Amino acid sequence: MTDTLNRPDSCSNDCPAAGAAVEPGAGERLNRLRAAVLGANDGIVSTASVVVGVAGATANQTTIAMSGLAAVVGGAVSMALGEYVSVSSQRDSERAMGMAERHQVNPWTAGIASFFAFLLGAALPFITALVAPEAARIVSIFLVTLVALALTGALSAKLGDAPVGRSVARIVIGGSLALAVTFAVGSLFGATAV
């Protein structure tokens, strides 16, 4: 009786023994992958947009660094929380439908994957903003960001068995627009503040 109660659902002979660790299902693995890809892309785009926008307004290295650091920390926490809340709602729906626990998504793993992926993605434009010479800072941030986005777009397409070209084009075009708009806004405010 105890053995039956401890099993994640009723299944055939391939059920794990009572108390044995249960491998996550494909849905959970895709959940972590999706959260990590979104976290990395968001880390790249949002951090690059902040540092490029601030660099458009001022050349002050301390101001750019502090703004970038705030974007990295705030963005990582926000992304993790957003993933946790979103995936929690999905898991509640899966429970309500009676889905076996081993097939349900885990909001903690999604949040954690998103948090660390955001930090890794954000590190590229942030470090570039800190180390690039002032004369080449904005161009360097643009280039590093677009290359990073192309790589994450290609990786996510390969992992998801989707067309690579279309995936890369979407993310690079979207990232370029975000950078251009924030640079224009920063430049406008920088010019009006003088």
> Does 7 fall in a domain?
no
Percent over 70 (pLDDT), the chain: 84
Could you give the number of structural domains in the chain?
1
> Does 8 fall in a domain?
no
Structure tokens given for 146:
């677009």
* CA distance linking residue 54 with residue 38, whole number of Å: 24
**Distant-in-sequence contacts of 155-158, Cβ < 8 A, 24+ apart:** 155/37, 156/37, 156/41
Which region holds residue 25: left if phi is over 0, alpha if psi is between -120 and 50, else beta? beta
> Does 33 fall in a domain?
yes
> Does 13 fall in a domain?
no
Is there a contact between 41 and 121 (Cβ–Cβ < 8 Å)? Answer: yes
* CA distance linking residue 132 with residue 141, whole number of Å: 8
Residue 10: pLDDT over 80:
no
Higher pLDDT, 11 or 173: 173
> Does 2 fall in a domain?
no
**Distant-in-sequence contacts of 127-135, Cβ < 8 A, 24+ apart:** 129/51, 129/52, 129/55, 129/64, 129/65, 129/68, 130/61, 130/64, 130/65, 130/68, 134/59, 134/61
Residue 6: pLDDT over 50:
no
> Does 164 fall in a domain?
yes
CA distance from start to end of the chain: 77
Is there a contact between 64 and 129 (Cβ–Cβ < 8 Å)? Answer: yes
Domain that holds residue 131: 24-182
Residue 40: pLDDT over 70:
yes
**Assessment of whether the complete model's pTM goes beyond 0.85:** no
**Side chain identity at residue 32, one-letter code:** R
Percent over 90 (pLDDT), the chain: 57
> Does 153 fall in a domain?
yes
User: Tell me, what's the pLDDT at 192?
Assistant: 54
Residue 104: pLDDT over 60:
yes
Q: What is the pLDDT of residues 46-92, one digit of tens each?
A: 999 999 999 999 999 999 999 999 999 999 999 999 999 998 998 89
> Does 78 fall in a domain?
yes
User: Tell me, what's the pLDDT at 5?
Assistant: 37
